């Protein structure tokens, strides 16, 4: 019975491929613990859902651990079903988490516009050259350039786009027994994941100073270690299978697959606690945000599972591209370009796209920049004979007077998605100032009474 739980019979039905019984129970217990710890962390986020734009990304990252735990446990018990149906889901979500982590880093820094424009100012003041790629022939990367930012973002996202194609083609190769095609697919997969992680590291390297106040290292390790653990352990187990450690034939391949997933089941416990530490709920509680309302639980779940932000971001990155990511849409103050980076590659790109600036009087005697003005050549102009792209599609909507017919009173909606907790008022700035005032007055009275006692004793 235990062999049937932690293994599967091969085609001839004469031999079972299974984990050892003790290891099987350990993998099951570890999966339960990892799922339990992760669900506690996820529920804490959903019950304190006060920053949807940030917390939806946090919860999506935290869902990686229970997803891995469930799929890896199923792989140790029913490997045929797991390989066919569950592994593609796990691998796609693994790629999706890399993109989500990139979006989270972008969000905590204020968004793409803030990163590009503020880097133009900060790099100008520090007079820092653009970051050199690890591979010299790739040149330099400057995230103050919207084109370079788009290239880095696409480098991260291409893994998300490639993974569904890879899983589909791998499934076809399994069905059609195309072993040579599987080899080339594996090479493309390795190139894709390497390029994605490299671009994430480039983003980290360019913005390391700006990210330091947000303590991103634990979050970075949460994403990197899970991906590296699954990737390099898979390489190691396949190497051992190639060396004949697990035997020969179909049984050996199935045994190596089961052992690989059994190891991951145990490791998910450590990753669950690491996620609990790296993504705490404290910044989103009523104590930290006393005047911030929270979304109700079901609305918070719907927001996490919604894909509106993903659809917009994918469209802007994949389809719109340079039409959106250009210097006109990410304009920086002219003083960031006048002096220290006048001859830089980034400034020349701005000039080539139509940017013009003047420096009234150069620098002031104190060394600061003088009066600067800037403009874009032909910005907002329309070619002769052209029409507005959406002018013919504009439809007039009738004026709605229904709200003014009966009463100006709007009744309370119990299904409104936002809830304000009155208990959070005790942590508001006004209450904190009142507490400090009372504490200061009590301290002054205590000092005064002590002084009076000393005088009376004298």
DSSP letter string, 439-458: HHHHHHHHHHHHHHHHHHH-
Q: What is the pLDDT of residue 134?
A: 79
The confidence band for 429, taking pLDDT boundaries of 50, 70 and 90, is low
CA distance 224 to 103: 15
Q: What is the pLDDT of residue 259?
A: 85
More confident residue, 227 or 106: 106
Does 426 have pLDDT greater than 80? no
Please say whether the dihedral angle defined by the alpha carbons of residues 178, 174, 23 and 221, taken in this order, is positive or negative. positive
Does 235 have pLDDT greater than 50? yes
More confident residue, 421 or 41: 41
More confident residue, 308 or 10: 308
Does 121 have pLDDT greater than 90? no
Among 35-49, 234-248, 284-298, top mean pLDDT goes to 35-49
Least confident of 74-78, 318-322, 439-443: 439-443
The confidence band for 20, taking pLDDT boundaries of 50, 70 and 90, is confident
Burial class (CB in 10 A: 0-12, 13-18, 19+), 298: exposed
86-108 pLDDT per residue, tens: 888 888 898 889 889 989 988 98
Does 405 have pLDDT greater than 60? no
Q: What is the pLDDT of residue 306?
A: 84
Beta bridge partners of 359: 372
More confident residue, 408 or 69: 69
Residue 57 near residue 100, CB atoms below 8 Å? yes
Mean pLDDT of the region 448-456: 59
Could you tell me the CA-to-CA distances from 237 to 155, 170, 359 in Å, in that order?
28, 19, 63
Does 184 have pLDDT greater than 50? yes
- Give the three-class secondary structure for 284: helix
Beta bridge partners of 18: 7
Q: What is the pLDDT of residue 33?
A: 96
Q: What is the pLDDT of residue 10?
A: 40
More confident residue, 296 or 377: 296
Q: What is the pLDDT of residue 380?
A: 54
Q: What is the pLDDT of residue 36?
A: 96
Please report where in the chains the tokens 């506690």 appear, as a residue: 40
Does 40 have pLDDT greater than 90? yes
- DSSP string for 182-227: HHHHHHHHHHHHHHHHHHHHHHHHHTHHHHGGG--HHHHHHHHHHH
Terminal Cα-to-Cα distance of the chain (whole angstroms): 90
Q: What is the pLDDT of residue 384?
A: 53
Could you tell me the CA-to-CA distances from 91 to 30, 86, 179, 239 in Å, in that order?
21, 9, 20, 20
Alpha carbon 325 to its chain centroid, in Å, reads 20
- DSSP string for 132-145: EPSSGGG-EE-TTS
Q: What is the pLDDT of residue 383?
A: 55
Q: What is the pLDDT of residue 379?
A: 56
CA distance 135 to 194: 13
CA distance 98 to 115: 19
The secondary structure of residue 329, as a DSSP letter, is T
Least confident of 55-64, 121-130, 239-248, 275-284: 121-130
CA distance 20 to 255: 11
Residue 54 near residue 107, CB atoms below 8 Å? yes
Closest CA to 421 of 296, 326, 323, 301: 296
More confident residue, 288 or 43: 43
Residue 33 near residue 247, CB atoms below 8 Å? no
Could you tell me the CA-to-CA distances from 443 to 254, 431, 433, 438 in Å, in that order?
73, 18, 15, 8
236-271 pLDDT per residue, tens: 777 776 776 666 666 777 787 888 888 899 999 999
The confidence band for 67, taking pLDDT boundaries of 50, 70 and 90, is very high
Residue 70 near residue 283, CB atoms below 8 Å? no
**Average pLDDT over all residues of the chain:** 75
Q: What is the pLDDT of residue 273?
A: 94
More confident residue, 16 or 377: 377
Q: What is the pLDDT of residue 58?
A: 94
Q: What is the pLDDT of residue 427?
A: 63
Q: What is the pLDDT of residue 276?
A: 92
| Ramachandran angles phi, psi of 420, nearest 5° | -105, 125
Please say whether the dihedral angle defined by the alpha carbons of residues 241, 243, 247 and 248, taken in this order, is positive or negative. positive
More confident residue, 120 or 3: 120
Q: What is the pLDDT of residue 123?
A: 60
Closest CA to 193 of 216, 220, 161: 161
The confidence band for 285, taking pLDDT boundaries of 50, 70 and 90, is confident
The confidence band for 448, taking pLDDT boundaries of 50, 70 and 90, is low
What pTM was estimated for this model as a whole?
A: 0.75
The secondary element (H helix, E strand) that includes residue 264 is: helix 249-278
């Amino acid at each position: 019975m235990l062999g049937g739980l932690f293994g599967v019979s091969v085609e001839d039905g004469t031999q079972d491929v299974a984990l050892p019984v003790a290891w099987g129970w350990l993998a099951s217990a570890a999966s339960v613990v990892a799922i339990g710890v992760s669900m506690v962390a996820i529920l804490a986020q959903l019950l304190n859902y006060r920053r949807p734009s940030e917390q939806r990304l946090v919860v999506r990252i935290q869902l990686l651990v229970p997803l891995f735990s469930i799929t890896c446990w199923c792989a140790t018990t029913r490997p045929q079903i797991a390989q066919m149906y569950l592994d593609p889901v796990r691998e796609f979500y693994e790629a999706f988490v890399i993109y989500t982590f990139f979006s989270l880093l972008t969000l905590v820094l204020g968004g793409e516009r803030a990163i590009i424009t503020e880097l133009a100012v900060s790099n100008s003041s520090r007079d820092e050259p653009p970051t050199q790629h690890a591979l010299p022939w790739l040149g330099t990367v400057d995230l103050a350039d919207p084109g370079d930012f788009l290239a880095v973002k696409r480098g991260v996202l291409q893994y998300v786009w490639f993974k569904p194609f890879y899983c589909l083609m791998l499934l076809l190769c399994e069905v059609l027994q195309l072993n040579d095609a599987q080899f080339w697919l594996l090479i493309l997969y390795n190139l894709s994941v390497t390029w994605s992680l490299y671009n994430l590291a480039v983003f980290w390297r360019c913005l390391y100073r700006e990210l330091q106040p947000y303590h991103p290292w634990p979050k970075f390790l949460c994403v990197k270690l899970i991906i590296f653990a699954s990737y390099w352990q898979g390489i190691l187990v396949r190497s051992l299978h190639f060396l004949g450690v697990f035997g020969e034939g179909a049984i050996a391949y199935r045994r190596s697959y089961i052992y690989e997933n059994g190891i991951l089941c145990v490791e998910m416990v450590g990753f669950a606690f690491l996620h609990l530490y790296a993504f705490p709920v404290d910044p989103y509680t009523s104590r930290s945000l006393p005047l911030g309302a929270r979304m109700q639980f079901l609305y918070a779940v719907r927001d996490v599972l919604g894909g509106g932000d993903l659809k917009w971001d994918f469209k802007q990155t994949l389809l719109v591209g340079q039409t959106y990511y250009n210097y006109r849409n990410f304009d920086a103050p002219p003083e960031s370009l006048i002096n220290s980076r006048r001859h830089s590659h980034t400034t020349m790109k701005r000039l080539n796209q139509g940017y013009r600036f003047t420096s009234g009087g150069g620098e002031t005697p104190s060394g600061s920049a003088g009066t600067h003005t800037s403009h874009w050549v032909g910005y907002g102009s329309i070619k002769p004979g052209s029409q507005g792209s959406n002018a013919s599609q504009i439809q007039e909507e009738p004026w709605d007077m229904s709200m003014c017919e009966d009463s100006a009173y709007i009744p309370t909606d119990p299904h409104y998605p936002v809830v304000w907790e009155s208990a959070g008022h005790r942590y508001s700035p006004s209450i904190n100032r009142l507490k400090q005032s009372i504490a200061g007055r009590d301290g002054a009275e205590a000092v005064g009474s002590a002084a009076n006692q000393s005088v009376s004793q004298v």
